[in-house]
Amino acid sequence: MYFGLLIMTHNQVNVQSRTLRKNENSTSFFQGFQKVNLPFKRNQSVIDPTKVTDIQQPARHSYVYDNLTELIGQTPIMSLKLLFPDNNVMAKLENFNPLGSIKDRVALHVIRSGLETGLINSDTVVIESTSGNFGVGLSFVCKFYGLKFIAVVDPKISPTNLQLLKLRGAQIDMVKEPDETGNYLSKRIQRVQELREEIPNSFWPCQYSSPENPRAHYYGAGEEIVHQLNGAPLDYFMTAISTTGTMTGISRRLQENYPYLNVIAVDEEGSCLFGGTPAPRCLNGMGAGHPLPELAVKAYEQKIANQVIRVTAKEAIQGCYDLLEAEGIMVGGSGGAVIAALRKFLPTISPDSRILVLFADRGERYLNSFYDEQWVEAHT
């Protein structure tokens, strides 16, 4: 076993041991993808243990929570020094939310808001178009509040997410025919509208246009980041986009404390967002076809993003493997896309710049897709 260094910022350096397993036969996660170059050799310790004088255990909170909703949010920020040793890159780990993604926050926020304003009552049927994460969050929150939930999905949903929706009580409505671009978003929205006409007292959270979407992130992850950084400098915020609610809400809150912050949007090739050319896509929870989400149109008109970096699906999947190999973090395709975008972006800025990226969800749900060799070969 060999020990690595994890640097934590609280006006002092705390060191935790990190075990790395040596595998003499491993050259890549699977053939066709390159193995990331680590900033140290497998047989070389990152630090001199004789010079470590202040080793502390992380603080543990002795508190008993009443239910799972209380565990949504308060996700950590972690330095990515092993993957990017020459840059100041930090990551907000939204995969630490109890149901696995940043969409947990939106699901809880929109349902609570609907209950408080009277848009939702005990007999309301909640209907939403989802590629998985938002639906998983909604299925839990709806069940918690005793509400029926219909998830309108398409064949691109990961098998794991589909099973999670079913296990959490969601009724599945599968859209099987894509639109003229080969994507499904417009068809899913069309189906939601049909169901709303058929079902009285139904409620559509509409993550594509509702102001509650960015509002959840403004008061959620955005507020948390400000407190976590505690006045430390920040130059760039980078996140993958789809509805653009995450980017809009978080960046607006951050720019109140960091007025010169640059916002970098990451999108998949083939997405129509921010002037992109439509083409088939395969990354769940990223990008959009026509019609464009209303929130995305507003974000484009208001120039929320200073720059858009587009990556291919193969680049994004390579990013997933790079992050897993170097940092041990398994993320979904949007997180891998952020890593791929960083590869393109970092050479263009000063190495002293401080960058915060966001990983929207965990990768275990994609073992049968992004992390499966046969699937990747067939879809990229």
Q: What percent of the chain has pLDDT over 90?
A: 65
pLDDT digits (tens, 9 = 90+) for 3-55: 333 333 333 333 333 333 334 443 443 445 555 554 444 444 344 444 333 43
Q: Report, as an integer, the average pLDDT of 196-206.
A: 95
Mean pLDDT, all residues of the chain: 85
pLDDT digits (tens, 9 = 90+) for 211-258: 999 999 999 999 999 999 999 999 999 999 989 999 999 999 999 999
pLDDT of residue 182: 79
What residues does each domain of the chain span?
Answer: 66-100+212-379, 103-203
Confidence bin at 280 (pLDDT 50/70/90): confident
SS (H, E, C) the chain: CEECCCCEECCCEECCCCEECCCCCCCCCCCCCCCCCCCCCCCCCCCCHHHCCCCCCCCCCCCCCCCHHHHCCCCCEEECCCCCCCCEEEEEEHHHCCCCECHHHHHHHHHHHHHHHCCCCCCCEEEEECCCHHHHHHHHHHHHCCCEEEEEECCCCCHHHHHHHHHCCCEEEECCCCCCCCCCHHHHHHHHHHHHHHCCCEECCCCCCCCHHHHHHHHHHHHHHHHHHCCCCCCEEEEECCCCHHHHHHHHHHHHHCCCCEEEEEEECCCCHHHCCCCCCCCCCCCCCCCCCHHHHHHHHCCCCCEEEEECHHHHHHHHHHHHHHHCCCECHHHHHHHHHHHHHHHHCCCCCEEEEEECEECHHHCCCCCCHHHHHHHC
Q: Report, as an integer, the average pLDDT of 51-63.
A: 48
pLDDT of residue 62: 59
Most confident of 12-21, 180-189, 203-212: 203-212
103-203 is classed CATH 3.40.50.1100: yes
State if pTM tops 0.85.
Answer: no
**pLDDT of 147 above 80:** yes
Write the CATH number of the domain with boundaries 66-100+212-379.
3.40.50.1100
Q: Report, as an integer, the average pLDDT of 118-136.
A: 93
